[in-house]
Chains A and B, each alone.
Chain A
């Protein structure tokens, strides 16, 4: 089982560039999430989706956009990258939300210079 596949693993962006972090799951999970993890801080929710065609903002959505056209895919778009977006990004999925187990991707380490 692939679980949650996240690409790329590492990326360096220049200020003002844009990029898309890809996330795909093969477990037919309804819920998908994007988190960022800054040093010494807990995971912060950026955006989440409870099913195809439905997305909603989390705690720190500014500077990001998402779409969920299929159950499997939940890409995260960074527009006009800023140094404050330097972080480690994790995609995760769950069958039906917080009362079910979560499966995490391997993470993307993003540096904006």
Chain B
């Protein structure tokens, strides 16, 4: 079993839909990263959160440290949100362990 599991692996949506991507992890952590990988391959850091909720525009990330679970929500999804979304957890202060990603396609 991977230390970081994401679900679903693939997700398609119609423009305007509310999207939820889940991340579960088996190691004890106090923070988690969400990243976005564009179709062209570039990777952008979206959030680093250690408790509760963070919001940036239409993106909302939540984390429950006790349940070892985080969710990334996208409200009013748009085709430009189509990307791979990756969660990652620290292994100590030096290394991140990455999930394999959730591929999201939003159709007009």
Contact = CB atoms under 8 A, between A and B. Distances in A.
Contact of A40 (B35, B86, B97, B100): B100
B95 interface: yes
Interface of B: 2, 4, 30-31, 33, 35, 41-45, 48, 50, 86, 88, 90-101
Contacts of B97: 42
Nearest to A56: B94
Interface of A: 31, 40-43, 45, 48, 50, 56, 58, 88, 90, 92, 96-104, 106-107, 109
Given A41-B100, A42-B98, A42-B99, A99 B90 contact: yes
Contact of A50 (B42, B44, B94): B94
A22 B96 CA distance: 22
Contacts of B92: 98
A96 B48 CA distance: 13
A6 B31 CA distance: 27
29 contacts: A40-B100, A41-B100, A42-B86, A42-B97, A42-B99, A42-B100, A43-B86, A43-B96, A45-B96, A48-B95, A50-B94, A58-B95, A90-B43, A96-B93, A98-B31, A98-B90, A98-B92, A98-B93, A98-B96, A99-B48, A99-B90, A99-B93, A101-B33, A101-B45, A102-B33, A102-B35, A103-B45, A107-B42, A109-B41
